[in-house]
Amino acid sequence: MDKGQSTFEDQWPSMRPIILKLLQQEPVTQNEWHEIFYSVHVVCLWDERGPPKVKDALKDDIMDFIKRAQQRVLSHQEDQALLKAYIAEWRKFFTQCDYLPTPFRQLETSLAGKTISSVNKKPQNEESIVRKLMLDSWNQSIFNDIKQRLQDSAMKLVHAERNGEAFDSQLVIGVRESYVNLCSNTEDKLQIYRENFERAYIEATESFYKVKAPQYLQANGVQNYMRYADSKLREEELRAQKYLEPCSGSVQVLTECCVNVLVSAFRITILSECAEMIKNYETEKLQLMFKLMDRVPGGIALMLKDLEDHIINAGLADMVASADVITQDSEKYVERLLSLFNQFSALVRLAFNDDPRFLTARDKAYKQVVNDTTVFRLELPTKQCGGVKSQPESKCPELLANYCDMLLRKTPLSKRLTSDQIESKLKDVLLVLKYVQNKDVFMRFHKAHLTRRLILDTSADSEKEENMVEWLREVGMPADYVNKLARMFQDIKVSEDLNQQFKEEYRTSKDSINIKILNAGAWARGSERVTVSLPLELEDYIPEVEDFYKKKHSGRKLQWYHHMSNGTITFSNDVGRFDVDVTTFQMAVLFAWNQRPADKISYENLRLATELPDPELRRTLWSLVAFPKLKRQVVLFAPEVQSPKDFNENTVFWINQEFALVKNGKTQKRGKINLIGRLQLSTERSKEEDNESIVQLRILRVQEAIIKILKMRKRINNAQLQSELIDILKNMFLPSKKMIKEQIEWLIEHKYMRRDEDDINTFIYMA
Amino acid sequence: MKVTIKSWNGVATWRWLANDDTCGICRLAFDGCCPDCRIPGDECPLVWGQCSHCFHIHCIMKWLNSQQVSQQCPMCRQEWKFRE
C-alpha cells in the first residue's frame, strides 16, 4: 500500500459521504460499509495524527446533522407535533448510535493508545467513544435548547390525561426514553432523567392534586373523598408505571408524593369519621380508610385507638344492659361474651383483613371487657387487718367454669346439644378463658365441678371430660394443675378395679356399695375431718373396706370423706315408695327416725344422734325441710324460721308422713328424686376460707416465683423482676403491684433477698 | 315410714402411713412425691426400713447406690434392710 494514500486527508473525502448517509439513515451498500472499515483501519495504522482528526471531522458532521434536526423539530409550534417530531428525530438518531460507532472501533483503540489485539476483549456494553460523542453532542445542542419545551409539553399531555383526554402515550414515553438514554455519565445513568423528567413529573402531579384534592373533599365529603383518593392513588401508580422509568425507584417516589398530597394532608379530617364508622360497622368504608391510612406513617394508630374504645364501650354497655339475665345465668353470660367476641372479630376481619395490629387491639380491649368488674365482681378478702380492701375481680372465670360444668354434666343443656356442638362450645370457653386474668379462679371452680361430676358419676361424656383436660393443657394452664386433673380420672379408674376385686373377695350382698379411693394430693381441699354417725349397716362395713385396702396397699391409711359420699335410699310411707338420692349427712339425719318414725325430734337430739357438727347439721336439715324443687318436703319443722341460722336447740323436726312427689298436680306413688343438689365439697367452715385461700395461694405463688427468678439471676432490678414475675404467673393470675411489693418486703424481712446498698431498686439473692 | 339404703358411694382419700410428714432425704412431703417424679401416688411409693424409718423409694435407692462401703439408713446409721 502506498503510504501517500493512507493519511487522513487522503481517506476522509471518500469516507464522508458514507458517514453522512449513515447519519441520515439512507441505504448504504455492502461495499461502502466495508470501505469505511477499511479506511478507518488504514488511517489508524499509517497516519499517526489521523485518529484525532477523524474524531474531530466526525464530530463536525454529527453536529451539523443535529443542527438540522433541531431546525426540523423546532419548526413545529404545537406541543404534540413538536413531541412527535422530536421523538421521530431522536429515534432515528438513537438507532444510528448503535450503527455508526461500529466501523470506528479501531479508532477508539488507537485513541486510547491500545493495540489491536485488545479490541475483542473490550466488553460490549462499555460506551464507545463515538457513541458518547454522538449522545453528548445531541445533549449539548438540541436537547439543552429544547429540553424545557419538551418537558413542558410532556407534562401538559399528562395533565390532559388526568383531566380525561386521550392522547398517544408513546409521546411521553419517547421523551422519557431520550432522557434516560442521553445520559453518558456511567456513574449514574439516570442522572439527566432524574434531575429533569422525574422531578418535573412529580412536581406536576403534586400541584395537580394540591388543587384538586381539597376541592373534591369540600364538595363530596370524607367518604366519597376516600374512594376518590383510593382510585387516584391506583390510577397514578399505573400511570407512573407507564411514564416513569421502571426499576429506577421513580414509581415509589411518585407514590409517596401522591400519598402525601392525597392522604396525609387530610389525615385528621378523614380519621375524624373513623369512630362513627366503627360504631356503625361500616366495614367497606373502614377497609378503604385502613387501606389509605396504612400508607401514612403512624396513620392507623388513631384507628386502633378508636377500635379499642369501641370494643370496650360497646362490650361494657352490652354487659350492663343485659346484667339482669347474665348475672343469673352463666350460659347466657358466656354466650353474650362470645357473641360480642365474634362481633368484634368479624369487624376486624371484614374491615381490617385480620391485620395483626388490629387483632392485638381487639385482644387488648376484649380482655378489659372480660375482666371488668362493673357488672359483677368476686370479692377476695385479704388477710391483712386494718380495713385494706382488696381489689374486686371479675366473676367471669367462675361463670366460665359453671358453663363448662353445664356442658360436661348430664344437664338439659348437654342433652339438647350434639357432641360436636358441645365440643365447639367448650372450645369457645377456652377462647374466652385466654382473656381472663385470674385463671386460678377458673381452675379452682373447674376442679370443684369436675370433682362433683366424678364423685356423683354425672359426667355426660367421659371422653369429652378427658379431652377437656388436654385442651386445658394446650391453652397453657399450669402443668401441675392439669396433672392433678388427669390424676383424678386415673383415681376413678383405679377405684373401679378396686371395687371389682372387693366384690369378688367379699361375695356378700355388697353389690350396692361403691367406694372411691382418691389421692389426697390431687383431690383434697383441706384435710378437715367431719364426724358423723353413720347408719349401722354402713358403720359395720367401713372396717371391711379398710382391711381390704390395707392388704392391697401396705403403708397407707384411709381417711373417709363423708361429706362427699352419697347414696340412694328407699323412703316408704303410707303414700308410696320413693327412691331418694341423698348425701351421707342427709342419710344420717333421716335414719334418726327409723326406730321412731312418728316422733318429733328436737334439734339438740338430732345433733346427738347424728354427731354432725353444728353448721353441717343446720345445712343438712335445711336441705330436707326446704328443698327448692319439692312441693312437699321430706321433713317438717316448727317453729317457722327463714334460714338455717335460726334453728335453735328446741326447734322440732318430724317426718312428713304425707311426703310424695307431685307431678302436674297429681300425687305420685312411686318415683325418684335427687336431694343432693350441689354436692358440698367442703364444710361450712372451710367454705369461708375458700376465697381467702385463693389469696393465700397467690401470695405463696408470688413468693415462689420471686425466689425462682432471683435464684437464676442472682441480682435483678425492680422493673425486670416485675416483668419476669408477670410472665411466670400470667397463666394463673395477674399479681397486683401491691401484692408484689408486699411479698418483696416479706422476703427481704425474712432474709431471702436484700436490696443492693448502692441502688435500692436492685435486689440480690441471699442463699 | 321406713328408710332403707339402696346403694351407697363412699369416698375416702388415702395417705401414707408414715411416722413423719416429710421424707428425711428430699425433705418433701410424703403426700407429694420425690423431686424426680411429677405425680404422687403408686408411681412414687414409700418404703420402710427395719429401723422403721421411711422414705420415698426413689430417694432411698439413690442414697443406697451412692454408699460404697455399707448400706446404712441415713437417719439412724443402722444397717438398711427393707421391711417386708
The more confident residue out of A171 and A729 is A729
Q: Mutate which of B2, B3, B19, B84 to disrupt the A interface (most A C-beta within 10 Å)?
A: B3
Of A482, A488, A500, A495, nearest to A442 by C-alpha is A482
Task: Enumerate the residues of chain B whose CB falls inside 8 A of the CB of residue A555.
Answer: 16-18, 45-46, 48, 54
Tell me what pLDDT residue A121 has.
45
Write out residues 22-61 of B within 8 Å (CB-CB) of A.
Answer: 31-32, 38-41, 45-46, 48, 54
B3 touches chain A (CB under 8 A): yes
A247 touches chain B (CB under 8 A): no
Q: How big is the CA angle at A488 (ends A485 and A492), to the nearest 5 degrees?
A: 150
* Nearest neighbour of A590 by CB, restricted to B3, B12, B48: B3
The more confident residue out of A387 and A193 is A193
Task: Enumerate the residues of chain A whose CB falls inside 8 A of the CB of residue B15.
Answer: 520, 556-557, 559
A207 pLDDT band, cuts 50/70/90, is confident
B69 touches chain A (CB under 8 A): no
User: Are A569 and B1 in contact (CB < 8 Å)?
Assistant: no
User: Are B10 and A520 in contact (CB < 8 Å)?
Assistant: no
A675 touches chain B (CB under 8 A): no
Q: How far apart are CA A166 and CA A160, in angstroms?
A: 8
Q: Chain B: nearest CA to A743, how far in angstroms?
A: 23
Q: How far apart are CA B79 and CA B77, in angstroms?
A: 6
Rounded to the nearest integer, the mean pLDDT of chain A is 83
User: Are B16 and A519 in contact (CB < 8 Å)?
Assistant: no
Q: Chain A: nearest CA to B74, how far in angstroms?
A: 20
Q: Mutate which of A451, A529, A570 to disrupt the B interface (most B C-beta within 10 Å)?
A: A570
Question: Which three three-digit cell numbers place residue A745?
Answer: 418486703
Q: Chain B: nearest CA to A594, how far in angstroms?
A: 6
Q: Chain B: nearest CA to A291, how far in angstroms?
A: 52
Fold of A565-678: Ribosomal Protein S5; domain 2 (3.30.230)
The percentage of residues in chain B with a pLDDT greater than 90, rounded to a whole number, is 6
Task: Enumerate the residues of chain A whose CB falls inside 8 A of the CB of residue B17.
Answer: 555-557
User: Are B1 and A572 in contact (CB < 8 Å)?
Assistant: yes
Fold of A3-112+128-184: 5 helical Cullin repeat like (1.20.1310)
Question: Which three three-digit cell numbers place residue A357?
Answer: 395490629
* Nearest neighbour of B11 by CB, restricted to A484, A549, A561: A561
- How much is the average pLDDT of A457-472? 92
Task: Enumerate the residues of chain A whose CB falls inside 8 A of the CB of residue B45.
Answer: 555
User: Are B1 and A593 in contact (CB < 8 Å)?
Assistant: yes
A521 touches chain B (CB under 8 A): yes
A411 touches chain B (CB under 8 A): no
Most distant CA pair in chain A: distance in Å? 156
Domain annotation for chain B: domains and CATH numbers = 14-84 (3.30.40.10)
User: Are A569 and B3 in contact (CB < 8 Å)?
Assistant: yes
* Nearest neighbour of A569 by CB, restricted to B5, B13, B14: B5
User: Are A538 and B32 in contact (CB < 8 Å)?
Assistant: no
pLDDT tens per residue, range A225-260: 988 888 888 888 888 887 887 777 778 888 888 888
* Nearest neighbour of A520 by CB, restricted to B4, B13, B17: B13
Q: Position B11: which residue type? A: V
pLDDT tens per residue, range A537-550: 888 888 888 888 88
B45 pLDDT band, cuts 50/70/90, is confident
Q: Are A519 and A487 in contact (CB under 8 A)?
A: yes
Q: Position A333: which residue type? A: Y
Of B16, B38, B35, nearest to B27 by C-alpha is B35
- How much is the average pLDDT of A90-112? 72
A721 pLDDT band, cuts 50/70/90, is very high
Q: Mutate which of A559, A583, A672, A675 to disrupt the B interface (most B C-beta within 10 Å)?
A: A559
The more confident residue out of A728 and A175 is A728
Would you say the ipTM is above 0.90?
Answer: no
A538 touches chain B (CB under 8 A): yes
Tell me what pLDDT residue A359 has.
94
Sign of the torsion angle spanned by Cα atoms A383, A387, A391, A393: positive
**Could you give the strand order of the β-sheet that contains A715-717, starting from the edge strand earlier in sequence?**
A715-717, A762-765, A753-755
Q: Are A369 and A340 in contact (CB under 8 A)?
A: yes
Of A432, A403, A430, A396, nearest to A417 by C-alpha is A403
Fold of A686-765: Arc Repressor Mutant, subunit A (1.10.10)
Residue A624 pairs in a beta bridge with: none
Torsions phi, psi for A182 (to 5 deg): -70, -25
Centre a 10 Å sphere on the Cβ of residue A654 and count the other Cβ atoms it contains: 17
Tell me what pLDDT residue A508 has.
62
* Nearest neighbour of B12 by CB, restricted to A490, A517, A573: A517
Tell me what pLDDT residue A217 has.
87
Tell me what pLDDT residue A449 has.
92
Instruction: Output the 3-class SS for A478-492.
Output: CHHHHHHHHHHHHHH
C-beta pairs of A170-175 under 8 Å, 24+ apart in sequence:
A170/A87, A171/A80, A171/A83, A171/A84, A171/A87, A172/A83, A172/A243, A173/A242, A173/A243, A174/A83, A174/A86, A174/A87, A174/A90, A174/A91, A175/A83, A175/A86, A175/A87, A175/A150, A175/A151
Q: Are A698 and A440 in contact (CB under 8 A)?
A: yes
- How much is the average pLDDT of B1-30? 85
pLDDT tens per residue, range A6-36: 666 667 777 777 777 777 777 777 777 777 7
A553 touches chain B (CB under 8 A): yes
User: Are B4 and A557 in contact (CB < 8 Å)?
Assistant: no
Most distant CA pair in chain B: distance in Å? 74
A267 pLDDT band, cuts 50/70/90, is confident
**Could you give the strand order of the β-sheet that contains A601-602, starting from the edge strand earlier in sequence?**
A601-602, A652-655, A635-638
CA A492, chain centre distance (Å) = 39
Q: How do strand B2-16 and strand A577-583 relate by DSSP bridges?
A: unpaired
Assess whether pLDDT exceeds 50 at residue A384.
no
A403 pLDDT band, cuts 50/70/90, is very high
Question: Which three three-digit cell numbers place residue B47?
Answer: 418404703
User: Are B6 and A512 in contact (CB < 8 Å)?
Assistant: yes
Q: How do strand A577-583 and strand A635-638 relate by DSSP bridges?
A: unpaired
Residue A638 pairs in a beta bridge with: A652
Q: How far apart are CA A506 and CA A501, in angstroms?
A: 9
Centre a 10 Å sphere on the Cβ of residue A388 and count the other Cβ atoms it contains: 9
Tell me what pLDDT residue A6 has.
67
Task: Enumerate the residues of chain A whose CB falls inside 8 A of the CB of residue B8.
Answer: 512-514, 538, 565-568, 584, 587
The lowest-confidence range among A40-49, A297-306, B37-46, B64-73 is A40-49
Tell me what pLDDT residue A324 has.
81
Q: How far apart are CA A236 and CA A230, in angstroms?
A: 10
Close Cβ partners of A419 (under 8 Å, ≥ 6 residues apart) = A461, A464
A300 pLDDT band, cuts 50/70/90, is confident
Assess whether pLDDT exceeds 90 at residue A357.
yes
Tell me what pLDDT residue A146 has.
75
Tell me what pLDDT residue A385 has.
37
User: Are B54 and A567 in contact (CB < 8 Å)?
Assistant: no
Task: Enumerate the residues of chain B whose CB falls inside 8 A of the CB of residue A547.
Answer: none
Close Cβ partners of A200 (under 8 Å, ≥ 6 residues apart) = A151, A154, A155
* Nearest neighbour of A561 by CB, restricted to B5, B12, B38: B12
Pairs of CB atoms within 8 A across A/B = 146
Rounded to the nearest integer, the mean pLDDT of chain B is 85
Instruction: Output the 3-class SS for A150-169.
Output: HHHHHHHHHHHHHCCCCCCH
pLDDT tens per residue, range A745-760: 999 999 999 998 888 8
Q: How far apart are CA A709 and CA A715, in angstroms?
A: 9
User: Are A566 and B1 in contact (CB < 8 Å)?
Assistant: no
Tell me what pLDDT residue A689 has.
62
A492 touches chain B (CB under 8 A): no
Q: Mutate which of A469, A489, A536, A566 to disrupt the B interface (most B C-beta within 10 Å)?
A: A566
Assess whether pLDDT exceeds 70 at residue A184.
no
DSSP code of B72? B
Tell me what pLDDT residue A310 has.
93
pLDDT tens per residue, range A567-587: 999 998 888 899 999 999 999
Task: Enumerate the residues of chain B whose CB falls inside 8 A of the CB of residue A587.
Answer: 3, 5, 8
Q: Where are the domains of chain A?
A: 3-112+128-184, 478-555, 565-678, 686-765
Q: Mutate which of A453, A494, A557 to disrupt the B interface (most B C-beta within 10 Å)?
A: A557
Question: Which three three-digit cell numbers place residue B27?
Answer: 425433705
Task: Count, in order, helices (H) and strands (E) of chain A.
Answer: 32, 15
* Nearest neighbour of B5 by CB, restricted to A522, A535, A560: A535
User: Are A516 and B39 in contact (CB < 8 Å)?
Assistant: no
Tell me what pLDDT residue A393 has.
78
The percentage of residues in chain A with a pLDDT greater than 70, rounded to a whole number, is 89
pLDDT tens per residue, range B16-35: 777 777 888 988 888 778 88
With 0.95 as the threshold, say if the pTM is over it. Answer: no
